[in-house]
């Protein structure tokens, strides 16, 4: 019985230490003034979009706050080791137009992604993998405006990034909801730019919650059958109340109807620190567990 009481006491101390570590980590900044908006009242929760025009109205209202993220990167391509000299076409002397057959060729490579505006001053959320390693970022609005984006903060662990653009006028925003309230079977909508096709709207349901893809130690994805494709990354997953509940992040290539979104509740915990410091600092505590032996008991 003495062993059990020691373990209980030590376990309580360990739990207290772990709680203190997490309290002192970046998540403690959640009390900072919110950079986003939330709805103060909700419509009837028993909303059924089947046979109605609910998603049409949401798409019309919220699409102006969804943006196309265009990361740019300088790339140097060297042609060599081809069967017939330096030609990628397999014939000696044949080279692509405007390319140097004897050296390297520099060009700008552009990616495609999505994002959404969370503050009228121009703060935008997207995935970190959309913009990482880029030399510059351009943000295209649905109104046709093109802006230079400034990377305010990025967290590769959670795959979240905060960007800002400077607009002379207030920008439309999408309110952030609560992903913890989602249930499997709930209707959701995605808006984004799959393959660069701006403002594509797709609809589906929440298939599951708490999915782990083995990508990071903090996996806790929302699984949805809402069609998500390359270019949708960073775009919003929206509930029937017109609130963002997830950030579309990944798709399983080997199957259809398997999309994954970062819960917005996690994003709301990280946004204040991304804005304040440009990164997320996490504390950690190393703990090892082993069986207790008679010798261990006597040494306690």
Catalytic amino acids?
A: 129, 159, 233
CA distance 181 to 81: 56
User: Cβ distance 222 to 198 under 8 Å?
Assistant: no
CA distance 12 to 158: 30
Question: What are the backbone angles phi and psi of residue 291, rounded to the nearest 5°?
Answer: -70, 145
């Amino acid at each position: 019985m003495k062993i059990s009481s020691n373990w209980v006491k030590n376990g309580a101390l360990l739990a207290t230490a772990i709680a203190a570590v997490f309290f002192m980590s970046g998540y403690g900044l959640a009390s900072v003034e919110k950079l986003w908006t939330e709805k103060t009242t909700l419509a009837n929760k028993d909303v059924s979009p089947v046979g109605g025009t609910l998603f049409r109205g949401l798409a019309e209202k919220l699409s102006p706050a969804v943006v196309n993220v265009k990361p740019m990167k300088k790339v140097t391509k060297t042609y060599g080791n081809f069967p017939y000299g330096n030609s990628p076409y397999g014939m000696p002397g044949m080279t692509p137009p405007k390319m140097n057959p004897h050296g390297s060729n520099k060009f700008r490579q552009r990616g495609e992604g999505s994002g959404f505006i969370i503050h009228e001053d121009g703060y935008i959320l997207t995935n970190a993998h959309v913009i990482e390693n880029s030399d510059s970022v351009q943000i295209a609005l649905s109104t046709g405006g093109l802006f230079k984006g400034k990377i305010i903060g990025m967290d590769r662990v959670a795959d979240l990034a905060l960007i800002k653009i400077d607009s002379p006028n207030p920008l439309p925003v999408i309110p952030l909801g609560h992903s913890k309230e989602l249930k499997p079977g709930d209707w959701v909508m995605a808006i984004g730019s799959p393959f660069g096709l701006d403002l594509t709207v797709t609809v589906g349901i929440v298939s599951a919650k708490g999915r782990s893809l083995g990508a990071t130690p903090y996996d806790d994805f929302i699984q949805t059958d809402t069609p998500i494709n390359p270019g949708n990354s960073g775009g919003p997953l929206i509930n029937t109340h017109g609130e963002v509940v997830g950030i579309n992040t990944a798709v399983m290539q080997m199957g259809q109807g398997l999309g994954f979104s970062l819960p917005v509740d996690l994003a709301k915990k990280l946004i204040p620190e991304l804005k304040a410091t440009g990164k997320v600092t996490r504390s950690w505590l190393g703990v090892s567990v082993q069986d207790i032996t008679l010798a261990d008991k006597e040494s306690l």
